[in-house]
Amino acid sequence: MGNIAFLPIGLEVALLVGAIGVLMVAVTMGRSSRDWAVVAGAAIGVGFVISVRQWVVVGESGTQLAFGTKGADGLAVANQMVAMDKFGALGGMILMVVVGLALIGSWQMVKDLGSRGAEFVALILLSAAGMHMMIVSANLIMLFIGLETASIALYVIAGFLRNRRGSDESAMKYFLMGSFASALFIYGVALVFAATGSTSLYGSTSIGQFLAGNAMPNPGILLIGIGLILVGLAFKMSAAPFHQWAPDVYQGAGTGAVAFMSTGVKVAAVAAMVRVLYIGFFQFYDDWSMAVALIAALSILVGTATAIAQSDLKRMLAYSGVAHAGFLLIAVLAARVSLDAMWFYLATYAVSLVGMLTVVTVVAGASAGPVSIESFRGLGKRSPMLAAAIAVFMFSMAGIPGTSGFVAKLVVFTAADLSGFRWLVVLALVASVAGLFFYLRIIVVAFFEDSDTEETPLTLTGPRIAIGFAVAVTVGLGLWPTLLLDFAREALPHL
Amino acid sequence: MTMSDLAVTAGWYMALAALLFSIGAIGLLTRRNALVMFMSIELMLNSVNLTFVAVGKELRTLEGQIATLFVMVVAAAEVTIGLAIIVAVFRRRATASVDELSEMKG
């Protein structure tokens, strides 16, 4: 035991044990979903505690790398696979909160699935483990493994409701597009390896060390490699022009599953992108920052323009997610001057989106495929609390003052302006105003249009807690943003 | 022309890999049968393996070979899930053409 450091991979271990535990409980103790909830909740709780512990340990004794090649003295000296730093610790905390909320929101779907529900829960935990692996990986091959662990589980999650048409279509499209993105990503890694002779982000034989020590008069292969890595990650966070799969997948998959797959991947892909670009390829900042800025601009334009035309709420949220991927890419650029802006945007957007999709599961059913915006008519009368929650989440995504979304956009745009991307900030501001249209339309439909039914959606205790928590975070961080910003300021990656 | 001019260097392998990768990518984007698209993805992953092995040999480091093992494991996992999804679609619709999969529309 002595020479294996468990803390750096503690969160992954907790989630994997939890996933296996859920399956074992389902096999041995029967199909009571309450038992699975206890195991999964314990795994997520332990994961959160481990992330906090990592934060504390890093604060006391500094960042560290783990799982490297051993030198003569028995200590890891090179090719480390995992970095333990506050970057990964905060990413873990955010992921655990998001996974927990998403699982609570989709629990009705787990119950409806019967005995297969346990597999769904286990897959979500496995996928979350892969996502965190992406955030903490100190090697591009490791990042690929994490990416695939997260993605392959998500393909299955998207197609989980195989009895309903649309779910299989969703899974197929996600699988083909996702595998394509993964292939692009790993080819990019191979080209980077060809150019620099390394896949490590840290240590004496890392990519950064090679680039610092060798002037590259002809960096063509390296630049193609960086570009393909960027494209692969942009695919996963559904940034334009690599977003075509997202609306179909979101619409076809069960709403409960969408809450997790839309937020978790974004958190992981954005954090991984920051680590790879800044730690691995900082010497080529001028080249990749321009590419990131272009993808960001295109995402914002395409996402905003197409979201306006949608009549299906999940498609609308998917296209709004494309626009938010653009804002997040601005945050990646802004990370040069302030990393807290990126974390703030990631955390608040993820929580708002999970909250919103939990409301959708309550109103339209957790297993529903397409959800028309019309189905929210008259919600203000039928269930004022749910309608108010929708208003909070939509205000936050639109960036209305008083919500966390406003502060997130403010800090990101300020930092991006300081990094020299004023044109991008102007574009993003214009798009934010245009975005008001489709966010406010949901609120108008919910409050000012009458519905044919008087049916009040039944809000169970679980979703009620999840929605309440998301509303509290959204409003709370909108009014007291320093609570998270001060915290996130320290969440730097190992250098 | 001497023999050393004709020696097959890592560059040739990388060029071949790039060609295979392009064929895979084009196949994926133009073919409409899910199985063929899937084969294209496998071709892309194998060209990645070829790049890793050739570069690893050239640089005299084991990292390339080890990376190849990881890519193969991941490809195998993808095959398992991908074939299962394709079979599930085929059982429901009796077709593996992605053009038939167009229920989701905005």
What local confidence, expressed as pLDDT, does residue A1 receive?
Answer: 38
Listed in sequence order, the residues at least 6 apart from B22 whose beta carbon sits closer than 8 Å to its beta carbon are none
Element (H, E) at B93: helix B63-93
- Beta partners for residue A444, in sequence order: none
Q: Is residue B104 part of a domain?
A: no
Which residues of B fall within a CB distance of 8 Å from A198? 63
Q: Which residue does chain A place closest to B44, by CA atoms?
A: A183
Listed in sequence order, the residues at least 6 apart from B28 whose beta carbon sits closer than 8 Å to its beta carbon are A176, A180, B37, B40, B41, B44
Which residues of A fall within a CB distance of 8 Å from B96? none
Q: Which tokens sit at B21?
A: 């990768």
Q: How many independent structural domains does chain B possess?
A: 1
Q: Mean pLDDT over all residues of chain A?
A: 91
Element (H, E) at A65: strand A64-66
Q: Which residue does chain A place closest to B101, by CA atoms?
A: A169
Q: Which residue does chain A place closest to B38, by CA atoms?
A: A176
Which residues of A fall within a CB distance of 8 Å from B92? 162, 165, 168
Q: Is residue B5 part of a domain?
A: no
Which residues of A fall within a CB distance of 8 Å from B86? 172
Which residues of B fall within a CB distance of 8 Å from A190? 17, 48, 51-52, 55, 67
B14 contacts A194? CB cut-off 8 A: yes
Q: Which residue does chain A place closest to B49, by CA atoms?
A: A190
Tell me how close the Cα of A413 comes to any Cα of chain B, in angstroms.
31
What tens digit of pLDDT does each residue of B37-70 get?
999 999 999 999 999 999 999 998 888 999 999 9
SS3 B33: strand
Q: Is residue B75 part of a domain?
A: yes
Q: Which residue does chain A place closest to B89, by CA atoms?
A: A168
Q: What is the CATH number of the domain that holds B35?
A: 1.10.287.3510
B25 contacts A145? CB cut-off 8 A: no
Enumerate residues 77 to 106 of chain B having a beta carbon within 8 A of any beta carbon in chain A.
Answer: 77-78, 81-82, 85-86, 88-89, 92, 98, 101-104, 106
Which residues of B fall within a CB distance of 8 Å from A171? 85, 88-89
Q: Is residue B78 part of a domain?
A: yes
Domain span holding position B81? 10-96
Best B39, B55, B63, B93 residue to mutate vs chain A (most A CBs within 10 Å): B63
| pLDDT for residue B1 is more than 60 | no
Listed in sequence order, the residues at least 6 apart from A14 whose beta carbon sits closer than 8 Å to its beta carbon are A43, A46, A47, A50
What local confidence, expressed as pLDDT, does residue B6 receive?
Answer: 66
List, for chain A, all residue ranges whose pLDDT scores fall below the cut of 70. Answer: 1-4, 71-72, 74-76
Which residues of A fall within a CB distance of 8 Å from B97? none
B104 contacts A248? CB cut-off 8 A: yes
What local confidence, expressed as pLDDT, does residue A163 receive?
Answer: 75
A148 contacts B74? CB cut-off 8 A: yes
Q: Which residue does chain B place closest to A160, by CA atoms?
A: B85
Best A116, A160, A182, A187 residue to mutate vs chain B (most B CBs within 10 Å): A187
Q: Is residue B63 part of a domain?
A: yes
Nearest by CB to A145, which of B14, B63, B74? B74
Tell me how many degrees the CA angle A55-A142-A23 measures, rounded to the nearest 5.
80
What local confidence, expressed as pLDDT, does residue A374 receive?
Answer: 87
Using CA atoms, how far apart are residues B47 and B68, in angstroms rounded to an integer?
Answer: 10
What local confidence, expressed as pLDDT, does residue A189 receive?
Answer: 96
A306 contacts B28? CB cut-off 8 A: no
Q: Which residue does chain B place closest to A147, by CA atoms?
A: B74
Rounded to the nearest angstrom, the gap between the alpha carbon of residue A218 and the centroid of all alpha carbons in its chain is: 35
- CA pseudo-torsion sign A121, A123, A126, A130: negative
Q: A334 with A416: CB under 8 angstroms?
A: yes
Half-sphere exposure of A26 (CA within 13 A, CB side): 22
Tell me how close the Cα of B1 comes to any Cα of chain A, in angstroms.
27
Using CA atoms, how far apart are residues A31 and A433, in angstroms rounded to an integer?
Answer: 49
Phi-psi domain of B94 (left: phi exceeds 0; alpha: psi -120 through 50; beta: other):
left
Q: Which residue does chain B place closest to A319, by CA atoms?
A: B106
Nearest by CB to A169, which of B14, B25, B103? B103
The phi, psi pair for A338, rounded to 5°, reads -150, 120
The answer to whether residue B43 neighbours chain A at the CB level (below 8 Å) is: no
A187 contacts B48? CB cut-off 8 A: yes
| pLDDT for residue B106 is more than 60 | no
